[in-house]
Amino acid sequence: MLMSVTLRQLSYFLALAEARSFGGAAQSVHISQPALSMQIKELETILNVTLVERLPRGLHLTRAGRELEQRARRILAEIGELEAAARRKTLTGRLNLGVIPTVAPYLLPHALPALRADDRTRDLRIREAKTEELMADLQSGRLDAIVIAEPPPGPDLAAEPLFEDRFLLAGSADRIAAAAEGMEALRPSVLDPDQLLLLDEGHCLADQALEVCGLDRRRLRLDLGAASLSTLCGLVGQGIGLTFLPELAAGTETSAVRQMALRRFAAPEPARRIALVRRSTSDGEGWFATLSGILASSGQTLIAAARAGIASGPRTSG
């Protein structure tokens, strides 16, 4: 009897391609390793090709495996889009939204009440993760839209700008004063790299901070690899280095860290641009405009408050 490739087999194969181990893949799709191995073997039999090279330590995809990986991603993304379109003609029903960690804790508490007020029947599922993970979930159809900084251009993406989020210099009042001593204009490029604390690798905010300073992470002596802005703010508030704080987070973090001071950079101020992104193939009619409008309004309100409260000189929280 002629057998056909199933969507489940394709999803198992993609899990294997990402994990590069049968154990890790089985864990990610919540089945046993022997069951996963049997499904991959069956897939190879149906297609009459070898998809993976099984090695003592991990595995490699064959050329046929790499080709199937690309095709499987497209197929599963299309299936995900069909399912999403059925529940998402308007911004009702379930909506899967991804948000980067340097935006989620600051924007969502303000935006979610407005989203609920707009429609109390809405089932909003939030995933907070780094940009790379959110992009993968968006392209696979697991997420309907994502909020990220500086969305990568591409014909497969549609982006709606939400707001510009400028960077502030954060640290103790003494450290900021020392960093700006003798300068008429405070610029990121003149900061001592030995004083900088950044988020761990993979956070787009850390990459942007390094870019505006013209630095390589390997030059940072105080690279503690913090996982959150709150951790960084607690450290710099105690006089341990300096960091970059987005305006979006200023109100929350200065309330939490009383010892922390903030100062604006000279114009043109370094900034990131936050956008709502969806697949260009998805039907964005209605729900996307509604969602982007609410997120933009909430973000712009927070940004306006930060700009009103923080002038070009130093400002200490509390």
CATH of the domain at 272: 3.40.190.290
* Residue 76: predicted pLDDT: 83
pLDDT at 314: 46
pLDDT over threshold 80, residue 217: no
Contact of 235 with 175, CB cutoff 8 Å? no
Mean pLDDT of 197-214: 74
Residues 78 and 100 in one domain: no
**pLDDT tops 80 at residue 47:** yes
CA gap 237, 256 in Å, rounded: 10
Q: What is the pLDDT of residue 207?
A: 76
Question: Where is the domain boundary, 19, 51, 83?
Answer: 83
For residue 185, pLDDT over 60 is answered with: yes
| DSSP for residue 65 | H
Cα separation, 252 vs 312, in Å, equals 20
Cβ contact 237:257 at 8 Å: yes
DSSP state of 229: H
Query: pLDDT tens across 286-298, in order?
Result: 788 889 999 999 9
Q: Do residues 67 and 193 both lie within one domain?
A: no
CATH, residue 51: 1.10.10.10
Tally of domains in the chain: 2
pLDDT tier, 201 (very low <50, low <70, confident <90, very high otherwise): low
pLDDT at 85: 63
Same domain? For 251 and 120 the reply is: yes
- Quick check: is 2 in a domain? no
59 and 130 in a single domain? The answer is no
Q: Are residues 212 and 150 in the same domain?
A: yes
Domain edge (last residue) among 50, 68, 83: 83
- Per the structure, the complete domain to which residue 207 belongs is given by 88-318
101 phi-psi bin (left φ>0, alpha ψ -120 to 50, beta other): alpha
Residue 1 lies in a domain: no
CA nearest to 52, candidates 24, 9, 21: 21
Where is pLDDT greater, at 105 or 198? 105
| Mean pLDDT score of the chain | 83
Give domain status of residue 247, yes or no: yes
Contact 147, 162 (CB under 8 A): yes
Give the residue ranges of DSSP H helices in the chain. 7-19, 22-29, 33-47, 63-87, 104-118, 131-140, 173-179, 204-213, 229-237, 247-256, 287-309
In whole angstroms, give the CA distance from residue 136 to residue 3: 30
Statement to judge: residues 238 and 171 lie in one domain: yes
Quick check: 32 pLDDT over 80?
yes
- State whether 47 and 106 are in the same domain: no
Query: Given a cut of 90, is residue 97 above it in pLDDT?
Result: yes
Query: d(Cα 139, Cα 118) in Å, to the nearest integer?
Result: 27
Residue 192 lies in a domain: yes
- Shared domain for 127 and 275, answered yes or no, is yes
Residue 232 lies in a domain: yes
Residues 69, 61 contacting (CB under 8 angstroms): yes
Q: Does residue 178 share a domain with residue 108?
A: yes
Q: Which two tokens stand for residue 94?
A: 């379930």
Q: Note whether 65 and 103 are same-domain residues.
A: no
DSSP code at position 193: G
Q: Of the candidates 49, 64, 83, which is a domain's last residue? A: 83
* In the predicted structure, residue 300 carries a pLDDT above the cut 90: yes
Pair (38, 94) in one structural domain: no
Structure tokens at 114: 């407005």
Per-residue pLDDT, 83 = 67
pLDDT value of residue 318: 46
pLDDT of residue 126: 93
Per-residue confidence at 164, pLDDT binned at 50, 70, 90?
Answer: very high
Q: What is the pLDDT of residues 228-265, one digit of tens each?
A: 889 889 988 988 889 899 999 999 998 888 789 999 99
| Local confidence band at 92 (pLDDT 50, 70, 90 cut-offs) | low
Same domain, 39 and 128: no
Give the containing element (helix H, strand E) for 1.
none
**What pLDDT score was predicted for residue 313?**
47
